[in-house]
Chains A and B, each alone.
Chain A
Amino acid sequence: MSESLANPLLPAPYRVLRNQRNTHDVFTLDVEPVKKGNSPLFSPGQFNMLYIFGKGDAAISISGDPTKEQPLRHTIRRAGVVTQALEQVKPGGVLGIRGPFGVPWPVKEAEGQDVLLVAGGIGLAPLRPAMYTLLANRDKYGRIALFYGARTPEDLLYLSDLEQWRGRFDLQVCVSVDTAKRNWMGDVGVVTKLIAKASFDPSNTVALVCGPEIMMRFSVQELKKNEIKSGNIFLSMERNMKCAVGFCGHCQYGPHFICKDGPVFRYDQVQSLLGKREV
């Protein structure tokens, strides 16, 4: 039997330091442990379970900078009961948090290679820690490109990050929106169309993809069209999740538990399941 008997189902109290609005339905919570001590270390792509008193909990990716000492950061889209309640939390409020959980992005393994980040909507949140890590170790990677698609310019997250990243000469940033007014000077259309704009060495490129499942499927098609190997494409999957540690069974996806075998999967691990309905 395992020696580790810490109760993985028990949340720890975290105090909210800041609740910042990103867009009309997305907000970012900064939290720190109520009890003394630093926030737990996390790897890019991992997630926490955020509990709000009496309402329940939700799986939320960690979106802060793992290379810096900073509060634990979660960017959340208002969608259900729990996230609606989280949106209302004010600084000083206390949440329960379990985690971090899950398999992270392979940022260490990608060293020496070109790296493409493909994000759709809120999918940029779990990719941001990966970007921070890549940039903090910039000389260890080849070319780096971010392809980010959102519904409208008003739905774009992390504008100050995007502006800063776009100002760099060692980073390609392409942003596309589905619809925009006439004052939008950027691309319009699906994010997958941006991939062709990038320059990378397909034989030596790792792609990290996060967004709605259909967007990930088409992104993979496009990446493969550009001759990136299946084993070098990584996706972050989402399913209903209760426990986050493989006990509750809800997040099963074929033979995988999204919570503990993922959420990040190598494309060839889930390839046979992705196109199927109702897996």
Chain B
Amino acid sequence: MISKNESFSDALSAEKKVVFVAKKDLPALFDSLWTNGFRILGPTLGEGAIVYEELNGVGDLPIGWTDEQEGATYRLKKRDDEALFGYNVGPHTWKKFLFPPKHRLWSAEASTNGLEITEEKQVIQKFAFIGVRACELKAILIQDKVFLGGEHVDPVYHARREDALLIAVNCTQAGKTCFCVSMDAGPRAESGFDLCLTEVLKEGEHYFIVEIGSAQGAEIMANVPHSNETREAEKAIQTITAKTAKQMGRVMDTENIQSLLQDNFDHPRWDDVASRCLTCANCTMACPTCFCSTVEDVTDITGDHAERWRQWDSCFTLDFTYMNHGHARTSAQSRYRQWMTHKLSAWFDQFGTSGCVGCGRCITWCPVAIDITEEVSAIRENQTAAKPTSS
């Protein structure tokens, strides 16, 4: 839930902030969510990957599965245990629920009186996201700034985000394209969640340490059998996430990154990356913070009914910068530079935060394995084009 003005620390006064839930009691969490009117969305096997879809029970989770990731590579693999969350992030992001890939904004009728425009009603069964990783949680908070944080509020995002319950999961392992540590976005979910689970599989035991982050989270947990022994919980979470932090497959040096990219607009590396980049837009579709969209206006066969649809768009398409006198960014160089400079530099100017959370999706899902961390290093190591900013 988006934190309201209520002080949830007060509401929680009677509750422990950390509890233990046995694996066998996890179905009670699902029941509690359903009882409270939530639609449960989370990771499940599909399309040869771990994707985010509606879950009809704990059994829909990818139990005993993991993923292996590298640049342009994603493979599912069986684990030798029954972990529920023993994998990293897949091709889907939660933005597909909060900012659907294609949706109608309004409809219009041509009438004798001219034009009647009807706003699309946002009727949403409130979402419970289960399995939100720390990097993804940060990505949601970043998109909150884009769609809710300015003078105008996006009605589509707002309606979906307002009542969404976020159940985070701390990563117990990192993938080869992960670099959330570099982006200060994980592996531990620090805040912004309603509940946060840490999965523990140890000496024949299988349970979850559950941190309660909001009054709503506490309400959900009230119906879930749990033990209140919180001793050692904090230490256990720290131990597990510290181990994950050491496994990061990628590293990005973010020092002065905002000015680094601003100052290297003419760096030869842009030509180099453009010689590999297919401008396919996969990175932007897989990115949990990329928010660009376009609209399409359609009419039916009678010509009296028109609709406006909005759908995800990408700065990698030529059409993105079309104006009547030409396109602003025609070359692949300029489009890759726009994406990466926006993500790692302009985002700070616009929203006071990096646009990258180190989830690694753009590396895994790039068909030619372009690696944003490698591109940053290449520019950093050879700043021949850079001019001193102080002049």
Contacts and interface: CB of A to CB of B under 8 A. Distances in A.
Q: From A34, A54, A55, A94, name the one whose CB has the most chain B CB atoms within 10 angstroms.
A: A54
Interface in B87-125: 105-106, 108, 110, 113-117, 119
A250 B317 CA distance: 11
Interface stretch (A104-112, A134-142, A237-245): A237-245
A252 interface: yes
Contact of B152 (A56, A93, A246, A272): A246
Given A53-B306, A240-B321, A242-B295, A5 B158 contact: yes
B155 interface: yes
Contacts of B155: 5, 7, 9
A96 interface: yes
Contacts of A54: 108, 297-299, 303, 306
B390 to A, nearest CB: 14
Given A53-B115, A94-B114, A250 B105 contact: no
A124 B328 CA distance: 23
Nearest to B266: A276
A2 B105 contact: no
Given A10-B119, A53-B115, A245 B151 contact: yes
Nearest to B106: A10
A277 B334 CA distance: 9
B320 A240 contact: yes
Nearest to A252: B342
B338 A34 contact: no
Contacts of B328: 239-240, 278-279
Interface string A196-217: 0000000000000000100000
Contacts of A245: 150-152
B377 interface: no
User: Is the contact region of chain A dominated by helix, strand, or loop, or is it mixed?
Assistant: loop
A250 B345 CA distance: 17
Interface stretch (B10-18, B58-66, B204-212, B286-294): B286-294
B185 to A, nearest CB: 21
Contacts of B298: 54
Contact of A10 (B117, B148, B293, B334): B117
A40 interface: no
A249 interface: yes
A71 to B, nearest CB: 16
Nearest to B115: A94
Interface stretch (A125-133, A171-179, A218-226, A253-261): A253-261
Q: Which of A11, A53, A212, A279 has the most CB of B within 10 A?
A: A53
- Size band of the interface chain B makes with A: 35 or more
A250 B117 contact: no
A12 interface: yes
Contacts of A12: 117
A1 interface: yes
Contacts of A256: 349
A8 interface: yes
Contacts of B146: 246-247
A254 B262 CA distance: 9
Contacts of A53: 108, 110, 115, 299, 306
A4 interface: yes
Nearest to B345: A255
A13 interface: yes
B387 to A, nearest CB: 10
A235 interface: no
A118 interface: no
B182 interface: no
A159 interface: no
Interface string B146-175: 111111111100100000000000000000
Report which residue of B294, B320, B324, B342 has the largest number of chain A beta carbons within 10 angstroms of its beta carbon.
B324
Nearest to B147: A247
B201 to A, nearest CB: 39
A34 B154 CA distance: 25
Contact of A2 (B115, B150, B324): B150
Contacts of A8: 152-153
Closest 3 CB pairs of A and B: A94-B114, A249-B292, A278-B334
5 contacts: A2-B153, A51-B297, A239-B323, A246-B150, A248-B292
